[in-house]
Amino acid sequence: MAPDLINPKLAAKTRELCYSAFAVLHSGVTRTPLYAVEHLTRDSVAAAKGLQRPEASAFHAEPRLPPDERAELADYKRSGFDRGHLVPSANEPTPNAQQESFSLANMIPQVGESNRGIWSAIEGATRHLANTRGEVYVVTGPVFQGANLQRIGGRVLVPTHVFKAIYDPRRREAAAYLVPNAPGNDYQRIPIAQLEEVTGISIFPGIPAAARTTAMALPEPRAPGRGRQKDEPGFSERDVLKFLKELVR
């Protein structure tokens, strides 16, 4: 079941866009996705691993969106922000799916240090989880908090945070990473219920109540020199090794 918008203010000018290996709900107000949905499996991760990432010229405006609702390449030019994928091209199992992931309808303005640092590490940790567990459902999206939000190009809203929520349908467990859209490597691992309060989106409608309120153990992303939120559960190296052994049983 697709995510559901709890906050009615988010629903204005939204359009569903389906691609060959993922789908997004796009907002013509923020000119970004509100979320992107994908189903990662061991086979899809293996297929994607052997593909070469497209060139930077693959970035493109989404032709299915009205011009006044979509981001343009010019909005990002000299903005100081990366064109940050919600669904990373490294997840895509075919050349066509990789090309589709470079649509600006799959992008947010993202701080480069975070995008190429802790966020990249979280993307890798998510693929690792899909590979070890067999399959996971993933919902990724921006968070817009506060009244004084920045726009690039005077049009595209800059998120304050980015989330990646993961559900394991076999073990019926879920949790999310929440990352500030800011320099540094800080992040949190939180229950889905907490993420829903932050985003105004019902991320995984219909999952068991326990999966919403209790965070599953997520692998620690490996980003050099990363920080730690005060309320983030600490994992020692011994804890990580124990967790990985449990995954492959």
**Digit-coded pLDDT (tens) for 73-97:** 999 999 999 999 999 999 999 999 9
Return the CATH number at 71.
3.40.570.10
Question: Which structural domain range is residue 61 located in?
Answer: 4-247
**3-state SS, residue 67:** coil
Alpha helices in 81-169 (DSSP H): 95-100, 112-116, 118-133
Report which secondary-structure segment, H or E, holds 244: helix 237-247
Q: Taking phi first (over 0 means left), then psi (-120 to 50 degrees means alpha), and beta for anything else, what does residue 134 get?
A: left
**Digit-coded pLDDT (tens) for 70-79:** 999 999 999 9
pLDDT at 218 over 70: yes
pTM of the model: 0.88
Q: What is the pLDDT of residue 64?
A: 98
Q: What is the pLDDT of residue 1?
A: 72
pLDDT at 193 over 80: yes
> Cα 212 vs. chain centroid, distance in angstroms?
18
Task: Answer yes or no: are the C-beta atoms of 232 and 38 closer than 8 Å.
Answer: no
* Matching residue, tokens 């899909």: 130
Contacts of 211 (CB under 8 A, 6+ apart): 167, 172, 173, 174, 192, 204
Task: Answer yes or no: are the C-beta atoms of 131 and 124 closer than 8 Å.
Answer: no
Determine the Cα–Cα distance for residues 176 and 191; give it in Å rounded to an integer.
6
Q: Which of 193, 186, 191, 196 has its CA nearest to residue 230? A: 186
pLDDT band (50, 70, 90) for residue 249: very low
pLDDT band (50, 70, 90) for residue 4: very high
Average pLDDT of the chain, as a whole number:
90
Q: What is the pLDDT of residue 245?
A: 39
pLDDT band (50, 70, 90) for residue 224: low
* Matching residue, tokens 């993307």: 123
Q: Name the burial class of residue 55, with classes exposed (0-12), middle (13-18) and buried (19+) by CB atoms within 10 angstroms of its CB.
A: exposed
pLDDT band (50, 70, 90) for residue 241: very low
pLDDT at 230 over 50: no
pLDDT at 141 over 80: yes
> Cα 117 vs. chain centroid, distance in angstroms?
14
pLDDT band (50, 70, 90) for residue 243: very low
Q: Name the burial class of residue 9, with classes exposed (0-12), middle (13-18) and buried (19+) by CB atoms within 10 angstroms of its CB.
A: exposed
* Matching residue, tokens 């470079």: 102
Q: What is the pLDDT of residue 207?
A: 96
The total number of structural domains that make up the chain: 1
The whole-number average pLDDT for the span 130-139 is 97
**Which one-letter DSSP state was computed for residue 200?**
S
